[in-house]
Structure 1
Amino acid sequence: MNIGWVKILGATFFELMWITGLKYAELPWEWAVTCLSIMGSSYCLITAGNTLPVGTAYSVFVGLSSIGTILVEFLGFGILPSFWQLVFMVTLIVGVIGLKLLNEQVER
């Protein structure tokens, strides 16, 4: 696996942390983790662009972050996704897989 993809996964992880932090942080240390997560997400995404096409990297990042946010709300906070959220999550997953497979073909 290309290091760029690992950085995209790291950027997504940090993204989910800071999005959750913006909604639920109350204590100073929680806000500190939120701020560090913003920086970590930005760093990982920016440096992923060194080894991946920027458009592909950003599209996959946004798709994974969108899906991850819905999953965090469901698994962590019991907020059930609607039917349409599930339909569009599947659409995003298909798109992310397609972009990754297309990128592998271009690299050959």
Structure 2
Amino acid sequence: MAWVALIFAGILEAGWALGLKASNGFTRPVPSVLTILAMIASFYLLSQAMKVLPVGTAYAIWVGIGATGTVILGIFFFGDSAAPLRLVSIFFVIIGLAGLKLAG
């Protein structure tokens, strides 16, 4: 269950990162509230996962899922660049996350 919590925490991290942009500096009420709720839920799930998983692994996986998700969703929702080097770099982040999981 710790891994499931960690995966959802990472997904929520990507969500709140995108929410920061959508909230326009917390000037738009609905995106702002949703962003704050996603932050709280993400940190809570991360804290639960860290009860079982090593702190370094859990934190790196959380950040990696969040960063990867933010880049991919930023491409689709905000028109961020999908330059080949960005996509290759994200691939290497995913490889690193898999390595942490396998080594754990």
TM-score in same-fold range (> 0.5): yes
Gaps of 5+ in 1: 104-108
For residues 76 and 50 of structure 1, what CA distance do their matches in structure 2 show?
34
Q: Which runs of 4+ in 1 moved over 3 A?
A: none
Higher mean alpha-carbon deviation, 25-34 vs 36-45, is at 25-34
Query: Root-mean-square deviation (CA), in Å?
Result: 1.3
Structure with higher RCO (Cα < 8 A, 6+ apart): 2
Paired residue secondary structure (1:51): coil
Q: Percent identity?
A: 36
Aligned match of 2:30: 29
For 1:8, the equivalent position in structure 2 comes to 6
Matched residue, 2:49? 48
CA contact (8 A) 2:10 2:64 kept: no
Question: Gaps spanning 5+ residues in structure 2: where?
Answer: none
TM, length-normalised to structure 1: 0.84
Q: Among 4, 16, 19, which residue is 2:17 paired with?
A: 19
TM norm structure 2: 0.87
Matches within 5 A, 1:1-108: 3-25=1-23, 26-103=27-104
